[in-house]
Each structure stands twice: as C-alpha cells, then as structure tokens.
Chain A
Amino acid sequence: MTRPPRRPTWRAARLTGVRPETGSARTLRFEVPGWPGHLAGQHVDVRVTAEDGYSAQRSYSLAAPADGDAIELTVEAVPDGEVSPYLTEVIEAGDEVEIRGPVGGWFVWRPESTAPVLLVGGGAGIVPLMAMIRARRLAGSRVPFRLLYSLRDPGSRYYADELRRPDPGLDVAYLYSRSTPEGWPRLAGRIMLDDLAEGGWPADFEPDCYVCGPTGFVERAADLLLALGHAPGRVRTERFGPTGG
C-alpha cells in the first residue's frame, strides 16, 4: 500500500455551485485553494462553525476526480441530522466551510490498476463509487467495471443522467429495496446472493470489490461476496452510518 499524501491542514472552501440529485440529496461544488489532489474513493472531513464558535465535523466522500482546486461532494439529508441538513438545505453559493483531506488510503481505485472491478453501492454509498467510474473514464482505462446500485425507490437515484449514458466497459444494474419502477423484473427487496452472482464477476476473475453504503447494507453485501468465494482481501468496504436503507 502506498502512503497517502501527508496530512494537510484545514482549508477554506467556498461553495461555487449546487446540483440537485434527488429530493433529499444534492451535489456541492467547492473551490478549495491549494487542494493537493486526491484518488477516487477517498473522503474529506468537512467542518462547519457557528457564530458562537461551536463547530461540527463530518466525513464526506469525494464524488469526482480532482479538477484543479474544485472538488465535489454529494450529501444526503439525514432526518434530524446536525450537519447534512445544513449542507443540503441551508448553505448557498458563496458561503464557506472548512475542508481537510484527502483521507483514506485503502478504499481507493487507481487508474493504473488492471483487475476487473465490482462496485456495490447502497444509497449514498454510490458517491465514492461514482468517483471511481469518473476516474476510469477520465483516464481512458479499459478495465471492465460493474456497478450494482441498490436504491430505496426509483426517485432516489443519484447521477441518473450520467449513469444512463453509455460508457463502454461499464455495466450498471439497479436493485430497489422498497419500490421498483413499473414492470421491473426483480421484486423490491434487500440485496441477495443472486444479485451479486448475476450482476457481479465470478470470484475466479479475482475482481477488486468495493462495497459502500449504510452499515447494514455493507455488512450484508460483503458477507454475500465472501459466500460467493471472493477473497476477503479483495473486498474493500466503506461504512457510512449506523442505520438506513
């Protein structure tokens, strides 16, 4: 494992743009002067400070490859959360937060890697996986990618237009946990062995598997991958939170 860049300090970050993804999630673009660059899969710490000096910090995955000093995050509003409703509903272009990173040297995909890749995302867990898909496209990599994206319902799909556009060598499959689009062949329900057997790669292809999402989802999907014979060292996981779909 190579070392990530040495730990940077907090940097001022100005919000420059916002794109809605779903009714409860949006992508935030920040300008971070001096940003050192990052790898797909890494995350940042975001610090927000109130007038009285109180501050709160949370981790958010980088949603896209580095683009000069600009970075993108996609944040889902967690009901009654302290920080995510601020980022999804209150902050406006021109407002500032502090950002430190990039963080994480394990849950990363490097463009020079040649192993096939299986991405398994649940809910907001798509965010660092999307960074990997974008990094692959940007690098012109031919490594075959498969994405299994588990969603609560058709309305909660992030990056919908971009994922619909053809991207040679990338297969995308959707699973719905609560309700499906009309006529969808698979019943709504949690991810199952068959989903991973059909939508993933056989274990003897030795794919690198990246599993990200709410803890329960990650636990289940990673267990199923092991049951299908994937080596534990090839299953990298990132758990976002204690609960949720």
Chain B
Amino acid sequence: MSAIEKNKTTVDGGACGAPPPNHHLPDEVLLDYASGAADEGVSLLVATHLTLCPICRDRAAELDALGGELVENLPPADLSDDAFAKLLARLDEPGSEPAAAEPARKEQATDDATLPRVLQRYVGAAAQDIPWQPLGLGVDHVDLSVEGGSRAMLLRVPEGRAVPQHTHEGNEYVLVLQGGFSDAHGHFVRGDVEASDDSVDHRPVADGGEDCICLAVTDAPLKLTSLVGRALNRFAKL
C-alpha cells in the first residue's frame, strides 16, 4: 500500500514512455500469484498487468521474496542418499537440456503495441488479427483457453458503449489494453485494472476516443449463456 501511495506522487513526469497505471491489483491476488495458488486465468491477468505496471512488479517481487524467506525457514526434509549423485549424472547427460516446453515459450511473438507477449501466447494473434466474435450491440469478444476455475476473454467495446460485466459470484477483473472506460470508481486507461466483487454494479462505459480493448477475467465459472444474457440486459437498460 505505502509503495503505491508513495509512487503516485512521483510517477508523473517520470521516465520516458507511458506512465505507470493508477489502478492496481489487490494484495491477495498478487499473493496468490506469488504462491502459485492463482489459477491460469488470474495468473494471465497478473502477468499482463505486471508487464505494464512497474509498481506492482515491485510488490510482486516483495511477495516472491517473502516466499523465498518462508521456504528458507522451513525445516529441511531428508533427501534420498543418492539424490546428488543422480543429479550429477544428469548434468553429464548430453541433450538433457531442461524443459522440452521451452521452445513453445520462446515462440516468437510479433511485436504488438496493444497485447503484451504473455497475452499474445493465449490469443494466438497480434491485436489486428484477433478472431473477434460478436457478443451483441457492437461488442466483440474472444474467449481465451485457460485451465482451472476462472474464465478469461478479450472484449472490444466501441466508444460510448457499456463494458459488459457479469459478476454474480466471485470476482471479476477488467484490465484495459487499449482506449479506456469510466465509471463511479474513476477513469481506467491502458494498464489499469478494475477489480469488482459480486456486490458491485457500476456500469463502466468506454470513453477512450477509440475502441476499448480489455482483458476480462472472472475467478468463478460462468455459463456463456448467462454472460451474454446479462451483457445484453445491461445494454437494454442503457
């Protein structure tokens, strides 16, 4: 908390490039990411925000350091007697480079001013080639495939339209990638995250002067039908 407060005053007129975001991830979400308890959708949200937010990168590093200290303090467990000998033997094996998964991670992402690379891996395309699906009333979305209980999607909302939100259980996080939106809690631009729980109903409206593209993650499972229904209801009320 204090890091955020402290930096709010210093970020304007900081280094070249975009200023850091003003709306950040809650501590308990960063903690889940540091501990590994966050599922894939929430982790994707966190990694995307961390790319765009040096303040939360510091907070996340502090929680990693907490994890390091806690593990350092654990009573050591006995290893099997030959554990180190086995490891040495593996170091000598040719072609035992770790992680066959690594080439996949290194898959060259095209550089893209909108989507951070970690997100491009999930979208499978740069921003101009996203396979948008209409969600109704000019709003498009594309579902991202993530394991675990959460859902992740990209939304594209034309200026002046409501950003569909669909929290009826659990938490929803909306991270702006392009354009912006405003609601009772303020103005949200690239890098900002709005976190809402099921008690919140605040109708964000896209207002960034261009299409608003955002990453929406819900940490409770939702049915698409109810999602679309709620989104359309929301528009109908406008």
Asked whether A and B interact, the reply is no
Residues of B within 8 A of A (CB): none
